[in-house]
Structure 1
């Protein structure tokens, strides 16, 4: 009973009404007055505190004020953290692949099986070596050969040779990027392309239609994309900010494949390092296109 009476008295105290009044000091006239209780005061203070906390969290989460909080990284620092994380992942993957290659070479030189290979693979090769394979022509082969000869009879590409291939000078090459050429072809040893300075994020286009044969990131050249075109022509685009295509993708002439960036150690600002390789030899791209 004592506990019940004590709890009732506590509730009564919380609900007990008080009057807050403000008087004029000279005339003692009541200027302002309001009725309140301890419970109302506690509820008002609690709701106000919750509203203030939600408001502060909103300012920190959705406005730029969070960058002024000590220890909170800025947007540029967060982008650098993400880029460095991607670079570290790429380096780890390259190192693991290189180590596996070295382990396989050592295993082969010591007469052991490479990593991932089994004795069944070797035994299957021995079966082919020990068996007698016959290469006699069958009736089905003759029919198939005649069908192919009829289909390719009027196909000029089947009789194409190196001498009658379309020369590079007679082909129209799209300009990959409009800008200012700061380093020309062959200005320094090992410089097999041209460096075009442009605004960061500008569009990089493919010079011809072809197939993307390489996309990746290296420490020296950053994000790189390589496109294989017809007639043994290859184009390379280095130091990109972002790649828009993946390996195996088909691209058209003038199609966007990357954005100009400043990635890699061998760069001093946003630019594109562009190379052209024809029949395995690097050529001067300025002889076939204008970058201005």
Structure 2
């Protein structure tokens, strides 16, 4: 025990023994600066200095822009730009998918390669063939009441309450004899109108030409998108008077009738009418004969 105490006393003595740090002039040996120190003081000062250095370094890394100059840390502006690019890429991806779906629909209109859906047979996009619950198809009380009111108005107020079923009047693209009518069961989503060669074909409404070119099966084709959701298609033309991207007015000549394309059987106009992805019988809106 005595030896341990002696060692402790020696260590304590070394730690607390005062030493003098003197700075002298080398030539004159004049004392310039002196400082009394102990090993304990040196240890405490060194520890505090190390802690201060660690604290300041941590603060700089965590809370100041200087951390951007430290290897391994990303720039704030770089993170912001990366986030913006990620958002833009998502938006572009969604827009690209919509454009691809739209182009696929237009391609099917051009080729006539349309799929029959189980319930929406006139749709460009096939409906999902899911089982239908008959209970859900039954009209509710509110529906029955509305139907009764409509029946009474149609029966007793023909001239006061009646409204036209079609709110849009379409200009006839041509006048002629219909050789084949609209028949979705036979995948004929159009009206064929026999015409003399080079008969002017006119736009049914104002709109923008989204396709005007030659196809092997249907010859010269014009597709016009109208502002109210209609898309009109004119096939087998002898020649075109409009180009893709042109804006056309109601009744403006867009092509001349002919018999072009492998599927053509004579000089006629193959006319299709679409509304929000669904084919429509053009004779509902247009009088061809």
Length-normalised TM-score, structure 1 = 0.43
Bigger Rg, structure 1 or 2: 2
Length-normalised TM-score, structure 2 = 0.44
